[in-house]
Chain A
Amino acid sequence: GENVEQHPSTLSVQEGDSAVIKCTYSDSASNYFPWYKQELGKRPQLIIDIRSNVGEKKDQRIAVTLNKTAKHFSLHITETQPEDSAVYFCAASGSGTYKYIFGTGTRLKVLA
């Protein structure tokens, strides 16, 4: 069945360093890949997304890359700040119905 694997499950970085979170999906028909940030007790919020016709997308300190051949996509956060500390989820859109298959999440901790 459809599956999204996400690594690492936890990540600690020093403030100012970069953080990279990686995901792999199984459904080759997936064509939309959002990344959500969830702070403790809050709802998930979209931070960046990429469609399958694009290899890379950047928004200020956040970038996402997609390798369709390998079915990999990654989130890159540069110049991390304490407020970046949260749980990050990747997802892939299920073919046809637009439901998301989520990864298991990465707890990012930025150390001041």
Chain B
Amino acid sequence: GAGVSQSPSNKVTEKGKDVELRCDPISGHTALYWYRQSLGQGLEFLIYFQGNSAPDKSGLPSDRFSAERTGGSVSTLTIQRTQQEDSAVYLCASNRGLASYEQYFGPGTRLTVT
């Protein structure tokens, strides 16, 4: 079946602009996760959704970052007033949640803030 998809694959934006990144999880996966991977670095947890609610948003680096999930499916990560330090690959992952552990990753969105 289809895997996790993300769009756009690449996004170049000017400092100060807002961006929206989209994640389509695997059908039936109730849990959805956003991570950030800076160049040559590890994966940094941002936020976790179970259904449409976010029980853990402890990784969001500032109030410029927000995320929502609707219909228990698609999620959007929004970064307002982008800064150069926001440049990274944003990865989304999903799994069945609760009783299931393995997370399946999407291809990521490479964000470049100029």
Contacts and interface: CB of A to CB of B under 8 A. Distances in A.
A43 B106 contact: yes
Interface stretch (A54-62, A63-71, A74-82, A92-100): A92-100
B1 to A, nearest CB: 16
Interface string B54-98: 011001000000000000000000000000000000010001011
A58 B43 CA distance: 25
B69 to A, nearest CB: 15
B42 A43 contact: no
A34 B91 contact: no
Contacts of B48: 97-99
Contacts of B103: 34, 46, 100
Contacts of B44: 102
A91 B105 CA distance: 14
Contacts of B35: 100, 102
B106 A102 contact: no
Given A89-B42, A98-B31, A100-B45, A49 B101 contact: yes
A97 B101 contact: no
Interface residues of A, number: 24
Given A98-B31, A100-B43, A102-B43, A32 B106 contact: no
B46 to A, nearest CB: 9
B42 A105 contact: yes
A93 B42 contact: no
Interface string A20-51: 00000000000010101000001111100101
10 contacts: A6-B42, A34-B101, A43-B108, A93-B101, A94-B45, A97-B55, A98-B48, A100-B35, A100-B45, A102-B42
Interface of B: 31, 33, 35, 41-45, 48, 50, 55-56, 59, 91, 95, 97-98, 101-108
Interface of A: 6, 32, 34, 36, 42-46, 49, 51, 89, 91, 93-94, 97-105
